[in-house]
Amino acid sequence: MRPKVICHMVSSIDGRLLVDRWSSPAAGVDSGALLGHYDQVAARLNADGWIVGRKTMEAYAKGKARTPGFAGNGVRDTHIAERKGHAVAVAIDPHGRLHYGQDNAGGDHIVAVLGEQVSDDYLAELREDGVSYLFAGADGRDLHRAMDTLGKAFDIRTILLEGGGVTNGAFLKAGLIDEISLLVYPGIDGVAGVPSIFEYVGHVDERPAAGRSLRHIGTETLEGGMVWLRYTVEVVAESGA
């Protein structure tokens, strides 16, 4: 069974994604304390780990490309490395562009979600780094398959989807978001075209949220004026008429 996916994000009041661009908080309110709510709320959601897109994971992937040589038999199977009881940090990286040089991101065990076209050399590098991996179809875009494997092979029950907007958009279009946990920071970006928390890459006629509705399940105002909004994502019932 696939894990429950909770999209957990922080945005400006205009829904924008890039934290460094937001206006300063009111006098006496500390921006660090405001942003600290993100991890504190994440902990309250009791997830087994988190998922991010290739660009967002770049902040943790500081290794160099290497060619360690023969990776052993079964290199193209799902690989479960030594997790050491840690939560998982899942990177959606269809082309295998990330080079980790370590087995963890902020202490959480890295699981790479890849396209089947990545090379044996790249898989050997991940194995040498102690990174786990699984495949999401030929082009790495089959998120249903990836989530099924994450549930079955890694026993992940609940996972936080933590951006960026492109990755959130792909999960939205795939109908894979079960809940949304949005922290609204008391700040403004204000510029047209700056990425928002959902940035599905597709045709302007598409509606990636079609067939889904949001049911409000909670609002909390946190210290400093951060507002925590929670919704479940429901499948719109077919009209019987």
Q: Which stretch binds ligand NAP (CB under 6 A): 43-51, 68-76, 93-101, 102-110?
A: 93-101
Q: What part of residues 35-54 is at the interface with ligand NAP (CB under 6 A)?
A: 52-54
Q: Which stretch binds ligand NAP (CB under 6 A): 16-24, 79-87, 146-154, 223-231?
A: 16-24
Q: Among the candidate windows 12-20, 66-74, 81-89, 232-240, which touches ligand NAP by CB under 6 A?
A: 12-20
Binding string, 180-199, against ligand NAP, x = CB under 6 A? ---------------x---x
The alpha carbon of 22 is separated from its chain's Cα centroid by a whole number of angstroms, namely 22
Alpha-carbon distances of 186 from 10, 33, 68, 220, 224, rounded to whole Å? 10, 12, 48, 14, 8
Question: x/- contact string, 151-170, with ligand NAP (CB under 6 A)?
Answer: -----------xxxxxx--x
Report cis status (omega within 30 of 0) of the bond before 164: yes
Q: Which stretch binds ligand NAP (CB under 6 A): 27-35, 91-99, 147-155, 210-218?
A: 91-99
Q: Is 12 in the site for ligand NAP (CB under 6 A)?
A: no
Least separation in angstroms between CB 168 and ligand NAP: 7
Letter string b/e over residues 4-43, b meaning 16 or more CB atoms within 10 A of that residue's CB: bbbbbbbbbeebbbeeeebeebeeeeebeebbebbeebbe
**Interface residue with ligand NAP, options 13, 19, 182, 227 (CB under 6 A):** 19
Regarding 201 and contact with ligand NAP (CB under 6 A), the answer is yes
Q: Is 96 in the site for ligand NAP (CB under 6 A)?
A: no
* Residue 2 backbone class (left: φ over 0; alpha: ψ -120 to 50; beta: rest): beta
Taking the C-alpha atoms of residue 23 and residue 12, their distance in angstroms, rounded to an integer, is 9
Tokens for 120, please give them: 């044996």
Q: Does 111 bind ligand NAP (CB under 6 A)?
A: no
Among 44, 76, 84, 95, binds ligand NAP (CB under 6 A): 95
Q: Are 9 and 164 in contact (CB under 8 A)?
A: no
| 110 touches 94 (CB < 8 A) | no
**56 touches ligand NAP by CB under 6 A:** yes
The whole-angstrom separation of Cα 55 and Cα 73 is 31
CA angle 48, 13, 232 (to 5 degrees): 40
Binding interface with ligand NAP (CB under 6 A): 9-11, 17-19, 52-56, 92, 94-95, 97, 141, 162-167, 170, 195, 199, 201
